[in-house]
Amino acid sequence: MRGAASPGPLVERCLLLSLRRPRLVIALWAVAVLTASFGLVRLRVDTTTGSFIDREDAAWFRYVESTAEFGADEFVTVALTGKAPYEASALAAVQQMSSDLQKAPGVRRVDSLATVPLIRSDDSGDLVLTPALTGPPPTSPVGVGRLAELVNRDRIAPGNLASSDGRTLAVNIQFEEGTGISWSAALAALRERIPASGVNVSGVPVFRAAVSDWTRAEILLFVPLTLVMLSVLLRILLGSVQCVGVALAVAGAGACVTLGAMAAAGVSLSIATMLLPSILLALGCTYTMHMMTAAREGQSLGSSLLLVAQPVLISGVTTAMGFLALASVNIAVVRHLGAFGSLGALVLTLGALSLAPALLAVSGGSGSESAAQRLLRGRVADWLASIVLRRRTVVVFAWGVALVASCFGLSRIHVSTDIIRWFPVGSDVRDDYERIRSTLVGITPINVVIRSTGGESVVDPSVLAVIDALVNSLRSRQGVGSVVSVVDPLALVNRALVGSDKLPGSRETLEQYLLLLEGVEQLEDVLASDRLATNVLLRLDDNSSKRIVALAAWAETWLRAELPEGYVASATGIMYEIARSEEEIAHGQIRGLLLAAVAIGLVVLLLFRDYRTALIAFVPNAVPLALAFGLIGILAVPLDAATVCLGAMALGIAVDDTIHVIFGFEEARLSGSSASGALTAALARVLPALVFTTLAVGLSFSVIGLSDFTLVRNLGLLTSGTVFLALAADLTLLPALLSFRQTKGGNALK
């Protein structure tokens, strides 16, 4: 390995150019920032949940095909709860809303007791296809009793249009596919036609609009908040307004160039990349602080900066690798986070090695050391080195015990994403969902499409018998609130005409029943016009991605075994697509963590050219990650599409401190110091930068942790905690392992 003071010819030339021609370097960066700014103003923001759906998988094309055949499956439920079953005022409100909401833009159909035909026979035995509520709402106990009996005898209305006790009534709004309006705009138009109080509103469009609006608001909040926090922190730690300006200039320039590159590539700021601006600002400040703290050591500016140039370069490369591992996920927006996070880390590294030296040269250096730096370099570094060297066995043992204890939490980790859990308890989105779920059937839609592959009609007694058996099995499964299929209207017709729910065994009779139902618009939801496909509609009480995917897989497997030859089945639906993508993100990023660990390990191995040293460098980063994931398991926090990002991202960031400690240690050893002297000298050199940069990164993620949006908050707090754990490991476990290595290996690190 090269000496710690020899960063390599390319980096050395970059530094020397920045110090000799600082105004030229600053001008080049200004041109880059100005050019990026033209693209930055065109950066699109797409914070919808649809932005992270996997649109490249065959399942997505099946979903698109199903919406063309059966219509969009996204709906909004408006629930009214009266003081008494089928209260007249609530029924009148249902009638009024059903009429008004049908006029809202983007609405395909409104389903309620006032619009959905209930299939039955009249006193003379004739088939009746009219809604339960056709005239003025009943007010007498007899009229209310008849209405309740009519609803409860139906196979579809209970739970979907009215609760079992009749106190809660539902108005379900179905939307057109491809209306071209945003969900926020569509919901705003609906709310104008809904009573301002006394109702609960929920559904997938509500979740999606709330996620989008919430994410946009937090982008506007956390970027300036992070800037303010970093400015105050830098001012306190470095004691100089000039240092604050240099650090923010480098961070801002790197972030601007990276986001400008995103805009030029046509990539939107999405629900996955919304954290990128704050992360880039924090990383830019950390890399620059390493340069500025080194510049205060009393040597010439060039000599001081050369001492930390190589560690800063390697830190940037490992951080880039941590981000790049995210690009292994087969979801476009996560690949974008990985690719542009990696690009940003490299751009910021270049900024720290060129723009920062140029700004320091123009401003006359970074000034004198702050009181915090002097304290850390002096008494704190001496005390820490002394404690670790005297108690190194205890230190290693303590971290080992913590690692073993974390295994309990690691064994309890489970991967699952629930959109509702993203919203805080007490928010309208979550509370309305819970109230509707507790009184009506579930409002999470999943479809199972059964399709003929040989041109045979699905309206075949053998196929319908399988569907009926599937429906009965699904209705008995936990978490399934409602199941509706083509069997239900056909069975209701049969009951009305012959008094039996059992379907006739003749295809001709079934086709005659369908002719009788020709005017029922809801039939289009479950049967394709060409009779070559049918749709089983599920309404679930659970938004867990793991359970949605598992239920869909079970239904597909069950049908594969039971359907006659010539028919196939597949699960689909917008919530299935979201759940499938969330599962891919979560499991894909677990793979990404392994890739990041291997890639970073190889970089460290190539850097130190000794597997034992590479292992020593890797352990203090792997242990804090294991502790963090163990805590996740103990707290029963599921690994979702956000928190699973923790691993690869935190590993890439945390390894920075390890690199600086080992470089400082080796430089002291190469100069002839003993192992204890080298450790004291290394800590005296790098401790201020390590503490300052960890505070910058950790507090930046803590700012994100202030979010009420659970998805963002968990990632912010867990990453912040992991970064601080990594610092503790680098200041205790790493020195202890280095001292053991010296004792057993004899000479300085190779």
The answer to whether 369 and 27 are in contact (CB under 8 A) is no
The phi and psi torsions of 270 (rounded to 5 degrees) equal: -115, -175
Strand stretches in 541-634, DSSP E: 567-572
Task: For tokens 């489970």, name the residue.
Answer: 414
The answer to whether 60 and 330 are in contact (CB under 8 A) is no
- Whether residues 98 and 147 share a domain: the answer is yes
* Class of residue 561 by CB neighbours under 10 A (exposed 0-12, middle 13-18, buried 19+): exposed
* Class of residue 675 by CB neighbours under 10 A (exposed 0-12, middle 13-18, buried 19+): buried
Give pLDDT, residue 299: 61
Task: For tokens 């942790």, name the residue.
Answer: 705
- Count of structural domains, the chain: 3
Within 10 angstroms of residue 11's Cβ, the number of other Cβ atoms is 19
- Whether residues 239 and 290 share a domain: the answer is yes
- Whether residues 565 and 591 share a domain: the answer is no
Residue 430 lies in a domain: no
Residue 419 lies in a domain: no
- Whether residues 314 and 333 share a domain: the answer is yes
Give pLDDT, residue 746: 44
pTM of this structure: 0.81
Within 10 angstroms of residue 470's Cβ, the number of other Cβ atoms is 22
Give pLDDT, residue 366: 57
The answer to whether 171 and 93 are in contact (CB under 8 A) is no
DSSP H helices, 114-176, are 141-153, 157-160
Is the per-residue pLDDT at 748 higher than 70? no
Q: Can you say whether the dihedral through the CA atoms of 317, 323, 328, 334 is positive or negative?
A: negative
Residue 422 lies in a domain: no
* Per-residue confidence band for 706, with pLDDT thresholds at 50, 70 and 90: confident
- Whether residues 389 and 254 share a domain: the answer is yes
For 168, the enclosing helix (H) or strand (E) is: strand 168-175
Task: For tokens 């894909």, name the residue.
Answer: 588
* Per-residue confidence band for 747, with pLDDT thresholds at 50, 70 and 90: very low
Give pLDDT, residue 559: 96
Average pLDDT in the 600-619 region?
A: 79
Residue 187 lies in a domain: no
Is the per-residue pLDDT at 685 higher than 70? yes
Integer Cα distance of 259 and 270 in angstroms: 12
For 15, the token pair is 């530094």
* Per-residue confidence band for 701, with pLDDT thresholds at 50, 70 and 90: confident
- Whether residues 636 and 558 share a domain: the answer is no
Residue 599 lies in a domain: yes
- Whether residues 555 and 586 share a domain: the answer is no
- Whether residues 363 and 403 share a domain: the answer is yes
Of 513, 544, 572, the residue that ends a domain is 572
The answer to whether 1 and 608 are in contact (CB under 8 A) is yes
- Neighbouring residues of 261: CB distance < 8 A, sequence distance ≥ 6: 36, 39, 340, 343
* Per-residue confidence band for 2, with pLDDT thresholds at 50, 70 and 90: very low
Single out the residue of 186, 164, 169, 226 nearest to residue 75, CA to CA: 186
- Whether residues 230 and 378 share a domain: the answer is yes
Give pLDDT, residue 231: 87
Integer Cα distance of 681 and 676 in angstroms: 9
Q: How distant, in Å, are the alpha carbons of 188, 403, 421, 585 from that of 409?
A: 44, 10, 21, 22
Give pLDDT, residue 359: 92
Distance of CA 438 to the CA centre of its chain: 27
- Whether residues 620 and 732 share a domain: the answer is yes
Within 10 angstroms of residue 546's Cβ, the number of other Cβ atoms is 19
> Does 744 or 440 have the greater pLDDT score?
440
Is the per-residue pLDDT at 744 higher than 60? no
Integer Cα distance of 700 and 716 in angstroms: 8
Of all residues in the chain, the percent with pLDDT exceeding 90 is 38
Render pLDDT for 126-182 as a digit per residue (tens, 0 to 9).
899 999 999 899 999 999 999 999 999 999 999 999 999 999 999 999 988 754 567
Render pLDDT for 545-591 as a digit per residue (tens, 0 to 9).
889 999 999 999 999 999 999 999 999 998 999 888 888 777 777 77
Average pLDDT in the 589-608 region?
A: 76
Is the per-residue pLDDT at 240 higher than 80? no
> Does 12 or 358 have the greater pLDDT score?
358
Residue 526 lies in a domain: yes
Interstrand relation of 45-46 and 269-270 (parallel, antiparallel or unpaired): parallel
For 248, the token pair is 């923010």
Of all residues in the chain, the percent with pLDDT exceeding 70 is 94
Average pLDDT in the 355-372 region?
A: 79
Mean of all residue pLDDT scores within the chain: 86
Integer Cα distance of 573 and 503 in angstroms: 28
Residue 60 lies in a domain: no
> Does 462 or 51 have the greater pLDDT score?
462
Residue 63 lies in a domain: no
Give pLDDT, residue 296: 61
Give pLDDT, residue 309: 84
* Per-residue confidence band for 365, with pLDDT thresholds at 50, 70 and 90: low
Cross-strand partners of 45: 269
Render pLDDT for 242-255 as a digit per residue (tens, 0 to 9).
888 898 999 999 99
- Neighbouring residues of 182: CB distance < 8 A, sequence distance ≥ 6: 209, 212
Integer Cα distance of 502 and 523 in angstroms: 19
For 117, the token pair is 């035909």
Average pLDDT in the 313-337 region?
A: 81
Beta strands across the sheet bearing 480-484: 480-484, 533-540, 444-452, 567-572
Q: At what angle do helices 58-70 and 574-608 cross, to 10 degrees?
A: 170
Integer Cα distance of 68 and 178 in angstroms: 10
Of 522, 541, 572, the residue that ends a domain is 572
Cross-strand partners of 121: 127
Give pLDDT, residue 713: 83
Within 10 angstroms of residue 61's Cβ, the number of other Cβ atoms is 12
Q: What is the CATH number of the domain that holds 278?
A: 1.20.1640.10
Render pLDDT for 54-92 as a digit per residue (tens, 0 to 9).
787 888 899 999 998 998 888 999 999 988 999 999 999
Question: Could you tell me the residue range of the domain that residue 96 belongs to?
Answer: 73-176
Give the largest CA-CA distance in the chain: 108
Per-residue DSSP letters for 319-342? HHHHHHGGGGSSSHHHHHHHHHHH
Give pLDDT, residue 688: 86
The phi and psi torsions of 82 (rounded to 5 degrees) equal: -95, 175
- Whether residues 126 and 169 share a domain: the answer is yes
Is the per-residue pLDDT at 312 higher than 50? yes
Of 572, 603, 631, the residue that ends a domain is 572
- Whether residues 538 and 625 share a domain: the answer is no
* Per-residue confidence band for 370, with pLDDT thresholds at 50, 70 and 90: confident
DSSP H helices, 411-516, are 428-439, 461-475, 487-498, 507-516
Give pLDDT, residue 658: 85
